[in-house]
Amino acid sequence: MSDENNSATLWIGNIEPWMDDKYVANLFSKSAVAVSVKLIKDRGTSQNVGYGFIEFENAEIASNIYRLFNGTMNPATKKPFRLNWGVHKGNVSNDRKSQGSGAERGGGRSQDNGEAISVYFSFLF
């Protein structure tokens, strides 16, 4: 994996339940090579919950992917690609513990009001 300071990760939405990590990586393969892909899955069903993270070698590549694909139609789903910047901020479980219970944090759900979304995650690779 590349040096963390040179890596760039994008959040990706509109992920269908039938898509897997390899499929998502291949969506961008003509423009760039994905360093890693992590689709978020429901713990009970092990199915995608509709979003994930894709990491590229550096911020310039990720920026180019963002500009080329965000909002354009995905031919396999007829839905637009939804991309945003993913921000790596250490261990999620430790962040959650320090923030209190879900009720104290507003249920743990963020409101999508069209502004940039900061997503905190840790890769489990």
* pLDDT computed for residue 2 by the predictor: 38
Q: What is the CATH number of the domain that holds 47?
A: 3.30.70.330
For residues 94-121, give the mean pLDDT: 37
End-to-end CA, the chain: 10
The pLDDT value given to residue 7: 58
Number of H helices, E strands in the chain: 3, 7
Reply yes or no on whether the pLDDT at 114 is more than 50: no
- What's the pLDDT tens digit per position in 47-82? 999 999 999 999 999 999 999 999 999 988 999 999
Alpha carbon 24 to chain centroid, angstroms: 11
Domains contained in the chain, number: 1
Q: For position 88, what pLDDT does the model report?
A: 54
Residue (of 82, 73, 91) closest to 116 by Cα position:
82
For residue 38, the enclosing domain spans 4-111+117-121
Per-residue pLDDT tens for 2-43? 344 455 999 999 999 999 999 999 999 999 999 999 999 999
Model confidence at 84: pLDDT above 80: yes
pLDDT in the model for residue 113: 35
Spatial distance between the Cα atoms of 28 and 32, rounded to a whole number of angstroms: 6
Which pTM was predicted? 0.66
The contacts of residue 96 (CB under 8 Å, 6+ apart) are: 105, 108
Residue found under tokens 């919950």? 49
Say what the pLDDT of residue 76 is. 87
- Taking the C-alpha atoms of residue 37 and residue 52, their distance in angstroms, rounded to an integer, is 7
